Each structure stands twice: as C-alpha cells, then as structure tokens.
C-alpha cells in the first residue's frame, strides 16, 4: 500500500518537470507511505512520478518505487496489492522475464510488456496504477475493478496532474481550489459527489473498473475494462488466480441450486481471505461482532499458527452503538489477541481537523470517526494490514431497507405508476399541501419520483432528496440545477443494457456497486485507515465473489423475510449461530446525539455563520428550523446536519484555507 502522484507535461515543452515539485506533492501524502520515498522523471522530462511507500511485500530496497523495467522503457508506481502475482510470475518467467525482486510491482511491469493494455485482466487485487511507456510516449492510469483504491486527476494549463489524494494535486501551481457547485448539489443527496466528479471544480476521480491512456500530446481515452455484470467475453481469474475467460466461470454451475451457491460462496470466501493474508508485515482484523468481520476472523484462524489480532471500537455511555459483547464472544471463541478502544464526543471532536484534512473532499459518513480510532489502535499495536467486512451487505442484500424498498416497488409503486398521469399529478399536488406543512419531505419525494417518472431507488444512503433541496437551497442556486436523478437513471440504464431481464433487487445492488460502495464506503476505509498508515483489505469484494454474487437469484438473497439468506447459510458451522441470526446493528457513530447535545452550539455557529450561507447557497431559515426541530427531538436530523457540517468544515479548510476549527 502506498501513495502515488505524478505529472504529464503535454503542453509546456520549455518548462520541464522538476524533482522538487514531485517531492512536494508526494510529501503531502507521506501518511500513505512512511517507509520510503522515490521520484522518477522521464528522459525527455515530460513525465514524472512521486511516490511514498508503505512496505508490505518485499521489504527490501528491491521493492522500491517508482520501478523501471530492465531496459528502462517502462516505469511504474502503484498503490495496492496484486494477490496472484506469484502465479503470474511463474508464467512470465517461463516466457523469459528475469526478476530482480520479490515484489508484485515487478510483475505488473512484465505483464504490461507481455500483454499490453490487457495486462489489467490478469491482475487479482486492489490497485491504482500509473505506468509510463517511454517507447510509446504514453501514460496509463488504472483503478481496480471494484474501486477499493482511489485515483484523482486534472488537466490544467498543459499538464495532467494525478495522485492518490487530491491534496497532492493541489501542490501543483496550475491546480486551483474552487468549489464545484454541481458536485455539491449531488453530494447533498449521495453524501459524496458521484464519480467522476469531485467537490473541486475540474478535478476528477477515475471510475472503478476504468483505465485512462494519455499520449504525450495530451490526447486521452478513458474506457471501462470491467463491470460487475459482464457483457460478452469479460476476462476474469479462477479460484487459484489463473486468468480465464469469464464465460467458463459463467457456465460453471447451471442450474444454480441453493446448495451449490452455498458451497461456491464458501470456496470463494476461503480463497479470498487466504489471498489477502499475503504480507511480510503483521496483519489482523477489524472485529465488530457482525457476520462479516466474524467470518474473516474464523476463516483466518483456520490458516494461522498464531492467534489472530483483532481490533474493536466502542462509544462511551451510548450502548446502543456498541457491539463489544459480540466482538468479545468471537475473540474468545477463536482465541484471538483482542484489542479494544472506547471513544467519546471529545475524542471525536478533537479529531475533526484531521478528518477534514484526510478526507480531501467531504465524505458525510460519521463512521469515519470510530474507523480512525480503531485504525490507530491497530497501528499502535504494530499491525500494518487488516481485513475488513465492507461489501457483503451490498452484494447479498443484508440491509432491511433493501427488503422494504423491494416490497414497496412491487406493490404501491407499481400500482401508482399504472394510474393516469393526470390523477398522479392531482395526488401529488394534494399530498404536497399536507406533507409540506408537516416537513414530511422524504415521503413527499417518493410521490414526486413516481409522478415525475424518476427511478425509485437512487442508493442506500440518500440524504437530501430533491424535495428537501427545494427548501434547503436558495432559489438562485436551486433554479436550473440538475436533479441527482440523472445518476440513478444512468446506473439503472447501464445494468438494463447488460441484462434487460434484471429484477429490481439486482438493479438496487448494481446501483450500490456503482456509487455508494466505491465512492463512500470504500473511500472512508481507504482515507481513514491510510491516515494511520494502515492497509485495509476487503475479502468480500474479491471481484470473483462480486461476479458470482451478481448471478445469485433474488430468492436466495432474501428468503422467508431473512436478509442475506444465502450468505448466512454459507457461514453456518463457521461462526456461532447467534452471531449469524442476531438483529443487524451495523457499525455506526452517535452523530445525532452529539449534534443534539455536546456538539450542538459548535455546529449551529458554524453552519449559520458559514461562508457558504453568506454567499447565498443555503436558506438560513430552513437551517435554523432543522436545528431547532432536531434539538427538540421532533425529528432525527443528525445525518442532515452532519452532511452540512462536514461540507462547511471542508469548505473552510480547503477553499477558504482557514485551518482552525474556531475560525
């Protein structure tokens, strides 16, 4: 795991790339790689890389990056891990390639030389790759299939500037800090700007499963090389990490039965967890006591001759947010070397400046806070690599709201859509008159979506709906803005083009894989764990698992009112039954309580006196009302207020460049 950054100078031949600038860029992301640093500048000085290393595999100087091929024609820097690099190495050595290290980095170089741009189909892992081809005079940027690793870029004044974090790009004198108003609009809804946009105007993030090729003249081509639902021949890798065509996997077990699905899930999980134990440094597990983290512990314990190191975090005096009892049960059951930390509102508040710095752009998920403290706990105890449970609920329908939305879609939604449009319009107008007075904007937005022809499902973490934003945003900022429905529509359409017969649960899961999972959940893990120089690995998001899970029928995922049914059956006998079938609690932070009590005055002062409000973006009356109703417990507006507070603190830090909480 590392931090990468770089520059392609395609429009300023008289101003060659400097080593000092690359070093300045890479120094801003030192937390991603405290063990080593490196710089590369091409012979023509038109391409340059800056690198920070967190040494995980091959700790020797031979693993140093940027790394070049023996003939010097290909140079690479990459962030991530290639779990099947030893399998690929054997094949490449047979083809005549001679290795100088034990690192997975060297395998990527030779795979590129052997297979060209298709090298990415050979890789099993998580990665953000930058590769310079001196002969072809081209830069290749690649983000892994699922989007576990981030990669940002911008074109500015004849330069392409890129990096693992936006803060590295901002060190370049041609890159400016400017609010992206369109992105802010969508952030309010999705808690993060959907890819490829970011909260900074003209700075973009490469989408999951995409690669970009940029030639020396600045011409670029961005293409998707992988999708969770394949179309035609989509190369993949088998259970042992060997490259195969996807069609052979697709036809591996038909018809699919419940028992065959259970056995395949077990096989995939065991292989995925085993692959992610590849490390030359200590590794462990973030343990919440839920199904996913408990399964990680159990299957890892089978493969180890020492206790698994486990790490848990809890909230002081707010027991409903704690799962410590279940975590301790798993720790005792599997005899782990267990560590815990308890935090409170003051710990969280003191962390806020660091949070805003490490997020780069606001991620309005309060889980970032406890996640930081459990990551720091791991690092303080000498653990550098951890396995986490992200992605399981999204693939296997583990949320109760999925069952609720699905039921709603198949009953009321379909019935309402069958009504004549004039009747729908009348119902909406009548409902609006009543629900507006009650501030019931969420319910009203469901009716609005059905009446106006929007998709029902936009994502699992929708915050400010279009109806909410009509009240939150001032008229001059709300008029003419694009509805966030454009993204939901695009994601649904993309799946239906690949699978016209996809049921609605599959459509919901696909939407999650396109936005909330990669850009919110995985980015919170990446940004926050790397803030403490810890590498997080996600075995449930092995792309082989994702490809397979997208083929599992809905009736195996939700059955008899049980969410996540097929995965629960698959882990029976692996973890205790009470862990499998207990009520889902989820990893959360008490933002509603903090904003109603200890943080209330601070948050209200920040929002009601913010530059964003002074510049006329928000309706002050609505904001004040939101605070008052939240404090009076008339409504739980904790997530809405955290969304706005996170945005305000980000704007203050990154746009206004005011680096103190007190202002």
Please tell me the predicted confidence (pLDDT) of residue 233: 56
Read off the tokens for 353.
Answer: 């400046």
8/133 Cα distance (integer angstroms):
12
pLDDT of 248: 54
Q: Where are the alpha helices (DSSP H) in 66-119?
A: 85-94, 104-115
| Helix, strand, or coil (residue 7) | strand
Confidence of residue 575 (pLDDT cuts 50, 70, 90): very high
Q: Which of 126, 113, 25, 24 is nearest to 67 (CA)?
A: 113
Strands 47-53 and 2-9: antiparallel
Q: Looking at residues 274-299, what average pLDDT do you find?
A: 93
Question: Among 191, 187, 215, which Cα is nearest to 200's?
Answer: 187
d(CA 500, CA 511): 15
Return the DSSP state at 482.
P
**Strand 152-156, strand 159-163: pairing:** antiparallel
Mean pLDDT, rounded, for 24-32: 97
Residue 356 · residue 650 · CB < 8 Å: yes
- List of residues 6+ apart from 526 with CB closer than 8 A: 148, 149, 150, 536
Spacing of C-alpha 456 from chain mean position: 23
Mean pLDDT of 459-474: 95
Phi-psi region of 391 (alpha: psi -120 to 50; beta: other; left: phi over 0): left
Residue 663 banded pLDDT, cuts 50, 70, 90: very low
What is the C-alpha R_g of the chain?
25
The predicted structure's pLDDT at residue 251: 53
The listed range with the strongest mean pLDDT (280-289, 470-479, 527-536) is: 527-536
C-alpha span between 513 and 223 (Å, rounded) = 18
Q: Pull the structure tokens for residue 482.
A: 């694009």
- Above 50 in pLDDT, residue 45? yes
Q: Which helix (H) or strand (E) holds 366?
A: none
* Averaged pLDDT, 46-65: 87
Six token digits for residue 399? 């949320």
Hey, what are 432's tokens? 């609006």
Residue with tokens 């790397």: 530
pLDDT of residue 1: 65
Give the tens place of pLDDT for each residue, 365-408.
999 999 999 999 999 999 999 999 999 999 999 999 999 999 99
The helix (H) or strand (E) run that includes residue 304 is none
Cis peptide bond N-terminal to 66, omega within 30: yes
Given a contact cutoff of 8 angstroms between Cβ atoms, the answer to whether 352 and 614 are in contact is no
User: Which of 231, 152, 207 has its CA nearest to residue 517?
Assistant: 207
Q: What is the mean pLDDT of residues 124-134?
A: 98
Q: Report the pLDDT averaged over residues 418-422.
A: 95
- Band (pLDDT 50/70/90 cuts) for residue 659 is confident
DSSP secondary structure of 562-590: BTTHHHHHHTBTTB-HHHHSSPP--S---
More confident residue, 562 or 243: 562
Rounded Cα–Cα distance for residues 333 and 269 (Å): 20
Q: Which helix (H) or strand (E) holds 662?
A: none
- And the tokens for 629? 């109703």
Percent of the chain whose pLDDT exceeds 70 = 95
pTM confidence score: 0.95
Q: How far is CA 253 from CA 261, 264, 506, 555, in A?
A: 9, 9, 19, 17
Residue 82 has pLDDT above 70, yes or no: yes
More confident residue, 133 or 283: 133
SS (H, E, C) 203-217: CEECCCCEEEEEECC
User: CB-hemisphere CA count at 13 Å for 349?
Assistant: 14
CA dihedral sign of residues 583, 586, 591, 592: negative
Q: Taken in order 171, 176, 182, 184, is the CA torsion positive or negative?
A: positive
CA separation for the pair 49, 42 (Å, rounded):
9
Share the mean pLDDT of the chain: 93
Q: State the pLDDT confidence band at 61, using cuts at 50, 70 and 90.
A: confident
Domains in the chain (CATH in brackets) are 2-224 (3.60.20.10), 256-397+513-580 (3.40.50.620), 401-507 (no CATH), 591-655 (no CATH)
Residue 246 has pLDDT above 70, yes or no: no
pLDDT at 601: 96
Alpha helices in 453-514 (DSSP H): 466-472, 475-478, 485-498, 504-514
**Residue 478 pLDDT > 80, yes or no?**
no
Helix (H), strand (E), coil (C) string for 168-215: HHCCCCCCCCCECHHHHHHHHHHCCCCCCECCECCCEECCCCEEEEEE
Q: Are residues 340 and 332 in contact, defined by beta-carbon separation less than 8 angstroms?
A: no
Q: Does residue 59 carry a pLDDT above 80?
A: no
Structure tokens at 331: 């720790």
């Amino acid at each position: 795991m590392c931090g990468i950054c770089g520059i392609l100078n395609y429009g300023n031949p008289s101003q060659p790339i400097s080593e000092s600038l690359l070093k300045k860029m890479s120094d801003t992301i030192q937390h991603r790689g405290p063990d080593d640093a490196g710089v590369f500048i091409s012979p023509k000085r038109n391409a340059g890389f800056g690198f920070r290393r967190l040494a995980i595999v091959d700790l020797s100087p031979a693993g140093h990056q940027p790394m070049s091929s023996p003939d010097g024609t290909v140079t690479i820097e990459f962030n991530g891990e290639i779990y099947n690099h030893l399998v690929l190495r054997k094949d490449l050595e047979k083809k005549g390639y001679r290795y100088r290290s034990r690192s997975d980095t060297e395998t990527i170089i030779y795979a590129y030389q052997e297979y060209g741009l298709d090298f990415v189909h050979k890789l099993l892992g998580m990665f953000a790759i930058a590769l310079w081809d001196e002969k072809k005079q081209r830069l290749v940027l690649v983000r892994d299939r699922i989007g576990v690793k981030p990669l940002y870029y911008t074109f500015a004044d004849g330069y392409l500037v890129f990096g693992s974090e936006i803060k590295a790009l901002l060190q370049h004198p041609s890159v400016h800090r400017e609010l992206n108003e369109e992105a802010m609009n969508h952030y309010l809804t999705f808690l993060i700007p959907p890819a490829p946009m970011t909260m900074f105007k003209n700075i973009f993030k490469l989408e999951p499963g995409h690669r970009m090729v940029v030639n020396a003249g600045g011409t670029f081509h961005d293409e998707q090389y992988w999708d969770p639902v394949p179309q035609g021949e989509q190369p993949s890798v088998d259970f042992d990490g060997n490259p195969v065509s996807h069609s052979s996997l697709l036809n591996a077990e038909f018809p699919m039965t419940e028992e065959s699905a259970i056995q395949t899930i077990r096989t995939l999980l065991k292989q995925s967890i085993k692959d992610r134990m590849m490390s030359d440094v200590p590794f462990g597990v973030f343990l919440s006591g839920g199904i996913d983290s408990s399964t990680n512990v159990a299957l890892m314990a089978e493969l180890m001759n020492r206790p698994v190191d486990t790490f848990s975090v809890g909230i002081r005096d707010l027991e409903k947010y704690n799962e410590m009892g279940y975590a301790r049960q798993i720790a005792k059951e599997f005899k782990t070397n267990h560590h815990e930390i308890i935090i409170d509102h003051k710990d969280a508040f003191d962390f806020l400046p660091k949070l805003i710095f490490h997020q780069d752009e606001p991620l309005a998920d309060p889980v970032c806070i406890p996640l930081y403290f459990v990551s720091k706990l791991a690092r303080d105890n000498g653990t550098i690599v951890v396995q986490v449970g992200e992605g399981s609920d999204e693939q296997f329908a583990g949320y109760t709201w999925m069952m609720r939305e699905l039921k709603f879609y198949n009953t009321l939604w379909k019935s309402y859509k069958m009504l004549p449009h004039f009747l729908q319009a009348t119902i909406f107008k009548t409902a609006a008159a009543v629900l507006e007075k009650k501030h019931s904007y969420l319910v009203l937005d469901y009716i609005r979506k059905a009446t106006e022809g929007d998709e029902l499902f936009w994502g699992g973490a929708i915050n400010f709906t279009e109806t909410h934003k009509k009240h939150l945003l001032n008229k001059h900022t709300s008029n003419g803005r694009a509805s966030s429905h454009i993204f939901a529509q695009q994601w649904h359409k993309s799946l239906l083009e690949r699978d016209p017969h996809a049921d609605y649960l599959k459509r919901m899961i696909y939407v999650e894989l396109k936005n909330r999972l990669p850009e919110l959940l995985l980015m919170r893990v990446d940004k926050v764990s790397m803030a403490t120089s810890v590498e997080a690995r996600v075995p449930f998001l092995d792309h082989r698992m994702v490809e397979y899970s997208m083929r599992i029928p809905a009736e195996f995922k939700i059955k008899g009112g049980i969410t996540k049914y097929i995965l629960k059956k698959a882990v029976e006998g692996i973890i205790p039954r009470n862990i499998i079938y207990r009520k889902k609690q989820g990893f959360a932070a008490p933002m509603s309580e903090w904003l109603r009590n200890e943080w209330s005055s601070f948050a209200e002062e920040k929002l009601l006196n913010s530059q964003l409000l002074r510049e006329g973006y928000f309706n002050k009356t609505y904001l004040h009302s939101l605070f008052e109703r939240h404090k009076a417990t008339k409504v739980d507006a904790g997530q809405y207020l955290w969304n706005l507070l996170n945005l305000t603190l980000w704007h203050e830090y990154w746009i206004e460049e005011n680096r103190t909480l007190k202002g």
